[in-house]
Amino acid sequence: MSLHTSAAPSCRSNQCAGRFGWLDRPDRRSWPSHHKRCGAQSAPGLGGAQTIANRSTKTVTDDDDKRRKTVDSINTETLSRSGRAHHDLDSLRRTVAGRVYVPDDPEWDRVRAPWARNVEQTPLAVLEVADAEDVRHAVRWAVENGRQVTAQPVGHGANDSLDQVLLLRTRALDSIAIDLDAGTATVGAGVKTGELLNALRHTGLTFLAGSNPDPTVVGMTITGGMSWFGRAYGLAANSVVSVELVDAKGRLRRVNHGEDPELFWAVRGGGGDFGIITSLELKLVAARDLYGGRLFWPIEAMPQVLRVYREVTRSAPDQLSLWYYTYQFPPLPDVPEPLRGRGFAAVAVAYLGSADGAEELLQPLRSVPGLVLDLLGPTPMNELGSIAGEPTDPMPSLEQSMFLDDLDDEVIERLTAVAGAGSGSPLLSLQIRHLGGAFRSRHPDDGAAGHIDAPYVLFALGIPVGPGRAEAIAATFSHIDDAVHGHTDGRTVPNFLGPGDDVRRAWPPQVRRRLSQIKLTVDPMNTIRSNRRVLDHAGQPREG
């Protein structure tokens, strides 16, 4: 039995989602709220910043006039506004059904903007693709015109300027096909996490969804896939059954364990550097009862909450995922009044099982004095994103992340000094996710995402708005580095790489070398460009 649908428009209004999405739990809020579905179309989605001036020179022979063309050393000045660039784009317009935007279009700022508004993207042009055939034509055009091409369905994960790159918006690839008998879902590149959760609502199945409903399923999955259910089922990248992509020759292909297994290995954790992905087929899991939400204490309780959190996570079953947070909520009108302008220590919970089973495991946390807000309760699977209540609307952001080998008293004391009461921390949140369980599982069929041995991953988020804010956030990131020194190997997952971050931190050296070799094999012209580039600016494997 199969179900077919397209992703519904997602609510993006400030009233419906909240500009920052602090606590999107209308069923258990203790304050008045507005939360109704609307038909507003979503805006573009997340990023990072790093300007690229020059790249290496490679050439290709044109079949028509044998002219030599530069492929990967495009001057970053004003080619996009030149007559020649417009002439080149005319040939693209003639072959695609979607709309091509250039810098003098009135909607240019809208279509080029990533989710992270502090990232200034200046691509050559933006193509809002209509279908997979548009992607195929776009890649062929890029090869013929010596350009690079990248895809951002809604803009999450953007991390550099994209100078002279053709940017594809693939949000229109929004098909969802659910095969109940096979227990799989095939989703287009534009389908958001929340949309697939909604489509699966009455099927008795779900997938390894991330914490935020706004990023696409494809984007979240191919960069590792840190799911709420990872402790029970592992990284989402390893749940991929097959991938449909347009390769660097402009061919629409399907790859899996039997068809080009090396390429299939690479895209499952290596990201979108190996082709423009148009759809993924994913293994689904049984949608069990879900008990979730958050517990809040005053920020002064941070060290005590962290110590109890550590003890609970040491013996937690794989069905229980716990994430610690320190919050510093800004004094803004769209932050709910109980949180506005205040700091908190909090623990977010997702338990695959009954309320009674969860509460028994959570009793040590409930025993921490001073609990001020309790948002725990049975949670419909399609409301998974409400547990963490992460921002969904585009905004400026700076991020830092790293694995933690342990969470001993010294680390707790140091982190409290950096982000706790009286620290003056400019961060919106400091998060520590418990890993372990199936995150550690190794299987010979796994992709480049592999497994994670570290028991925790730290993630810090700052909003660089206002004079001196970006500098204060950067200084706090340095203090966090000092606080966890000796308790981390410095690595993280591709999902968590922030603006301008070093992609070498995303994969172990042996995985990075294998990814580089595959990239050089399948895309020797370096035509495909992802947000997490395997090769350096010169198109060579990264050293170190």
- Do 260 and 253 contact (CB within 8 A), yes or no? yes
CATH class of 290-504: alpha beta
Tell me what pLDDT residue 538 has.
78
Tell me what pLDDT residue 336 has.
86
Residue 502, judged by CB atoms within 10 A of its CB (0-12, 13-18, 19+), counts as exposed
Tell me what pLDDT residue 13 has.
32
Q: Among 272, 277, 322, which Cα is nearest to 494's? A: 272
Tell me what pLDDT residue 542 has.
84
End-to-end CA distance of the chain: 50
- Do 158 and 114 contact (CB within 8 A), yes or no? yes
Tell me what pLDDT residue 84 has.
53
Classify 193 as helix, strand or coil.
helix
Could you tell me which residues are beta bridge partners of residue 298? 344
Q: Domain residues of the chain, as ranges?
A: 59-169, 290-504
Give 77's contacts (C-beta < 8 A, 6+ positions apart). Answer: none
Q: Among 127, 150, 139, which Cα is nearest to 52's? A: 150
Task: Give the span between the Cα atoms of 11 and 8, in whole angstroms.
Answer: 9
Tell me what pLDDT residue 158 has.
87
Tell me what pLDDT residue 82 has.
43
Task: Give the span between the Cα atoms of 414 and 309, in whole angstroms.
Answer: 16
pLDDT > 90 fraction of the chain, expressed in percent and rounded: 76
Tell me what pLDDT residue 421 has.
97
Q: Do domains 59-169 and 290-504 have the same CATH topology?
A: no
- Asked if CATH classification 3.30.1490.20 holds for the domain at 59-169, the reply, yes or no, is no
Tell me what pLDDT residue 60 has.
33
Residue corresponding to tokens 């949000």:
171
Query: Considering the entire predicted model, what is its pTM?
Result: 0.85
- Do 351 and 319 contact (CB within 8 A), yes or no? yes
Tell me what pLDDT residue 498 has.
82
pLDDT in tens, the chain (544 residues): 777 777 744 333 333 333 344 444 333 333 322 222 233 333 222 232 222 222 222 333 333 333 233 333 333 333 344 455 666 899 999 999 999 999 999 999 999 999 999 999 999 999 999 999 999 999 999 999 999 999 999 999 888 889 999 999 999 999 999 999 999 999 999 999 999 999 999 999 999 999 999 999 999 999 999 999 999 999 999 999 999 999 999 999 999 999 999 999 999 999 999 999 999 999 999 998 999 999 999 999 999 999 999 999 999 999 999 999 999 998 888 888 888 999 999 999 999 999 999 999 999 999 999 999 999 999 999 999 999 999 899 999 999 999 999 999 999 999 999 999 999 999 999 999 999 999 999 999 999 999 999 999 999 999 999 999 999 999 999 999 999 999 999 999 999 988 778 889 999 999 999 999 999 999 999 999 998 899 887 788 887 6
Tell me what pLDDT residue 541 has.
85
Tell me what pLDDT residue 85 has.
61
Tell me what pLDDT residue 22 has.
42
Phi, psi angle pair for 115, to nearest 5°: -65, -45
Tell me what pLDDT residue 70 has.
33
Measured CA distances, 478 to 13, 104, 466, 471, 532 (Å) = 35, 40, 20, 11, 23
